[in-house]
């Protein structure tokens, strides 16, 4: 009897450990920039629709799509890097797949955060997609919109945004963007 209880507790501990480690954000969770259809995302996302923001939950992602006017693709990448750095992110990958990716270490109200800023440059108006994930485990945590300050800074550096939309889980599901 004692051995079966110990085995059961050990099994439950292993299951919990596996669920925690599978939930930790990794850049591999982020879609490749060359596979992102930002035009479809922009057209599907209703500007009036926002994600549910409960104080405490297990939705570790926040996303925004911006429409901006920038003079060049390089300027958009520079704004992306600056927006990430202004929000205490360290640049980890730069423009390899049409995105700039950053990492921010643990802070008082959050675990580590990963962020990617995707750039789809067009001469008339470019689309920018910002995605963040925290490296939280199964304990969940406070729901802090980590992508919004990045979006706000990008808009500031670009001299304003023509449009800023929060991307909902429903839109990501329609586009089959990887969800944790």
Domain of residue 99, CATH code: 3.30.310.80
Other residues' Cβ atoms within 10 Å of the Cβ of residue 58: 14
121 belongs to a structural domain:
yes
Q: Per the domain annotation, does 100 fall within a domain?
A: yes
Residue 157 belongs to a domain? yes
Give the span between the Cα atoms of 73 and 178, in whole angstroms.
26
pTM of the model as a whole: 0.78
Return d(Cα 8, Cα 155) in angstroms, integer.
53
Residue 48 structural domain: 2-174
Q: Cα(first)–Cα(last) distance of the chain, in Å? A: 38
In sign, the C-alpha dihedral spanning 53, 54, 56, 57 is negative
Per-residue pLDDT tens digits for 98-137: 899 999 988 776 778 889 999 998 888 999 999 888 876 5
Closest by Cα among 164, 28, 23, 172 to 93: 28
Nearest residue to 116 via CA among 41, 36, 49: 36
Contact 150, 87 (CB under 8 A): yes
Domain count within the chain: 1
The 10s digit of each residue's pLDDT in 18-64 is 444 455 667 777 777 777 777 777 777 666 666 655 555 555 667 89
- Is there a domain that residue 59 lies in? yes
Residue 180, in any domain of the structure = no
């Amino acid at each position: 009897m004692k051995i079966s209880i110990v085995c059961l507790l050990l099994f439950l501990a292993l299951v919990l450990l596996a669920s925690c480690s599978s939930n930790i954000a990794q850049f591999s969770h982020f879609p490749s920039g060359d596979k992102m259809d930002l035009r479809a995302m922009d057209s599907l996302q209703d500007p009036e629709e926002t994600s549910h923001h409960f104080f405490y939950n297990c939705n570790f992602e926040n996303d925004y799509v911006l429409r901006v006017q920038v003079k060049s693709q390089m300027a958009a990448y520079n704004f992306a890097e600056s927006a990430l750095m202004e929000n205490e992110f360290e640049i980890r990958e730069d423009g390899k797949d049409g995105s700039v990716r950053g990492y921010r270490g643990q802070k008082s109200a959050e675990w580590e955060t990963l962020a990617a800023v995707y750039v789809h440059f067009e001469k008339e108006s470019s689309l920018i997609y910002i995605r963040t994930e925290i490296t939280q485990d199964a304990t969940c945590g406070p729901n802090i919109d980590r992508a919004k300050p990045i979006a706000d800074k990008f808009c500031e550096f670009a001299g304003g945004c023509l449009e800023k939309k929060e991307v909902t889980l429903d839109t990501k599901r329609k586009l089959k963007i990887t969800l944790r």
